[in-house]
Amino acid sequence: MVRIALVMHGSAMLYEVAIASEIFGVDRSELSPTGTWYDLVVCTADGAPHPWLAHLPTTSYAEIAAVDTVVVPSSDDFDDNPDPGLLEALADAHRNGTRIASLCTGAFVLAASGVLDGKAATTHWMYADDLARRYPQVDVRPDVLYIDEGDVLTSAGKTAALDLCLHMVRRDLGAAAANGIARRLVVPAHRKGGQAQFITPPAEPRTPHGLAPTFEWARARLDQPLTVRDLAGHANLSTRQLARRMQAELQTGPLDWLHHQRIARAQELLERTDASVDQIATSCGMGTATTLRRHFHRALGVTPTAYRATFRPD
């Protein structure tokens, strides 16, 4: 039986806590090949029961050293310095070989303890840049649903916590157990693609004398074979000047910008229209459905058809 400590730190968030307690705290031993399930204990700073999980056994952070796996839920306050006792307990558990997982922004707690040093990790895409800035020793990857480094696991934003918890069940008890839980929760046992498909494209800076008119001109002509020379000509710049300006204003080059616009147009058409993939490929300047599928999957980790099924299910 795998013993799991669910850490209720001071800024823990209810949604991810509920996911972890539903997966690991409800006895589903009939799904397990061993006939046993997880033994979940709640860890609070002083060992007092937490009102959200008063029905579960509770102990202090000291218990972290005595379990097989530690789960750290998301945090809603990154500026709230985690309890030093918690950070020390997590670091000690990691050194002793305990498996440690964070859900969503719980990665900030793991990073503060040093557990993520030198490892790949993810978190909610809205806070990935902040995690990378605060902890440059962590290899932050914002485009995946979860990362399994063996002894350290991290999940992306919100419902990706469920993806990671099901993955842990799959690792511990097999695919049949994970699939059985997924059916009962009426969710996919494994979601295709990564977090990239949910990321909102960043707004482009707009200045009175910037490149906004050229960007709008190009967006209105994405179905045409635009070139860097075309963009530069509209902006009354040389191709080198355009590249320098775009790098300074957008941190990207003209070709990459144009490619991203074509993918964004394809996303919009998949979400809002019934156009076929072939028609969308023509409308966004990808030429053929085959080309669109290749570039779309490379950018977002899913096919156009799977993307439409997710964001336009009707």
What is the residue extent of each domain of the chain?
A: 3-196, 212-311
* 199: pLDDT strictly greater than 60: no
User: What pLDDT does residue 303 have?
Assistant: 87
User: What pLDDT does residue 300 have?
Assistant: 79
* 196: pLDDT strictly greater than 60: no
- Both tokens of residue 45? 């700073």
User: What pLDDT does residue 19 have?
Assistant: 95
Classify domain 3-196 at the CATH topology level: Rossmann fold (3.40.50)
pLDDT in tens, 109-152: 999 999 999 999 999 989 999 999 999 999 998 888 899 998 99
* 201: pLDDT strictly greater than 90: no
pLDDT in tens, 11-23: 899 999 999 999 9
- Which amino acid, one-letter code, is at 130? D
Residue 208: pLDDT band (50, 70, 90) is very low
Residue 195: pLDDT band (50, 70, 90) is low
DSSP string, the chain: --EEEEE--TTB-HHHHHHHHHHHSS--GGGSTTS---EEEEEESSSPPPGGGTTS-EEEGGGGGGSSEEEE--BS-TTSPPPHHHHHHHHHHHHTT-EEEE-GGGHHHHHHHTTTTTSEE---GGGHHHHHHH-TTSEE-TTSSEEE-SSEEEE-STTHHHHHHHHHHHHHH-HHHHHHHHHHHTS-SS--S-GGGGPPPPPPP--TTSSHHHHHHHHTTTTS---HHHHHHHTT--HHHHHHHHHHHHSS-HHHHHHHHHHHHHHHHHHH----HHHHHHHTT--SHHHHHHHHHHHHSS-HHHHHHHH---
Name the average pLDDT for the chain: 87
pLDDT in tens, 151-184: 999 999 888 999 999 989 988 988 888 888 988 9
Please name which of 151, 155, 107 lies closest in space to residue 132, comparing C-alpha atoms. 107
User: What pLDDT does residue 43 have?
Assistant: 94
Q: Does domain 212-311 have CATH number 1.10.20.10?
A: no
* 302: pLDDT strictly greater than 90: no
| Range 237-264 average pLDDT | 88
Label residues 246-275 b or e (16+ Cβ within 10 Å = b).
Answer: beebbeeebeebbbebbbebbbebbeeeee
Question: Is the C-alpha dihedral spanning 42, 43, 45, 46 positive or negative?
Answer: positive
Please name which of 21, 11, 288, 95 lies closest in space to residue 304, comparing C-alpha atoms. 288
CA distance linking residue 98 with residue 173, whole number of Å: 18
pLDDT in tens, 77-104: 876 678 899 999 999 999 999 999 999 9
pLDDT in tens, 20-55: 999 999 999 999 988 999 999 999 998 889 989 989
Q: Which residues pair with 39 in a beta bridge?
A: 3
CA distance linking residue 242 with residue 239, whole number of Å: 5
CA distance linking residue 61 with residue 44, whole number of Å: 6
* 237: pLDDT strictly greater than 70: yes
| Range 269-278 average pLDDT | 88
User: What pLDDT does residue 134 have?
Assistant: 94
